[in-house]
Amino acid sequence: MSTLHVIDHPLIVHKLSIMRNKKTGSKDFRELLGEIAMLMGYELTRDLPLEDIVIETPITKMTAKTVSGKKLAIVPILRAGLGMVEGLQSLVPVAKVGHIGLYRDPETHKPVEYYCKLPHDIEDRIVILVDPMLATGGSAVDALTMLKARGCKNIRFMCLVAAPEGVAKVQEAHPDVDIFTAALDERLNEHAYIVPGLGDAGDRIFGTL
What letter does residue 151 receive in the DSSP assignment? Answer: T
Return the half-sphere exposure (C-beta side, CA atoms, 13 A cut-off) of residue 44.
33
Q: Is 202 in the site for ligand PRP (CB under 6 A)?
A: yes
Which residues fall within 8 angstroms of residue 165, CB to CB, at 6 or more apart? 135, 136, 137, 187, 188
Residue 111 binding partner per list ligand PRP, ligand URA, none, with a CB distance cut-off of 5 to 8 Å that depends on partner kind? ligand PRP
* Dihedral class, residue 134 (left if φ above 0, else alpha if ψ from -120 to 50, else beta): beta
- Size of site (CB under 6 A) for ligand PRP: 24
Binder to ligand URA among 78, 95, 133, 140 (CB under 6 A)? 133
Active site residue 108: yes
C-beta of residue 96 within 8 angstroms of C-beta of residue 127: no
Catalytic site residue from 3, 66, 105, 108: 108
Q: Could you tell me which residues come within 8 angstroms of residue 97 by beta carbon, excluding any fewer than 6 positions away?
A: 73, 74, 75, 76, 85, 89, 119
Let me know if 150 is a catalytic residue: no
The interface partner of residue 134, options being ligand URA, ligand PRP, none and the CB cut-off 5 to 8 Å by kind, is: ligand PRP
Q: Does the footprint of ligand URA cover residue 85 (CB under 6 A)?
A: no
- Whichever of 72 and 140 has its CB closer to ligand URA, that residue is 140
Q: Does 134 bind ligand PRP (CB under 6 A)?
A: yes
Is 200 a catalytic site residue? yes
Say if CB 95 and CB 71 are below 8 A apart: yes
# of chain residues touching ligand URA (CB under 6 A): 9
Three-class DSSP category at 197 = coil
Binding mask 11-50 for ligand URA (x = CB under 6 A): ----------------------------------------
Catalytic residue list contains 45: no
Active site residues: 104, 108, 200, 203
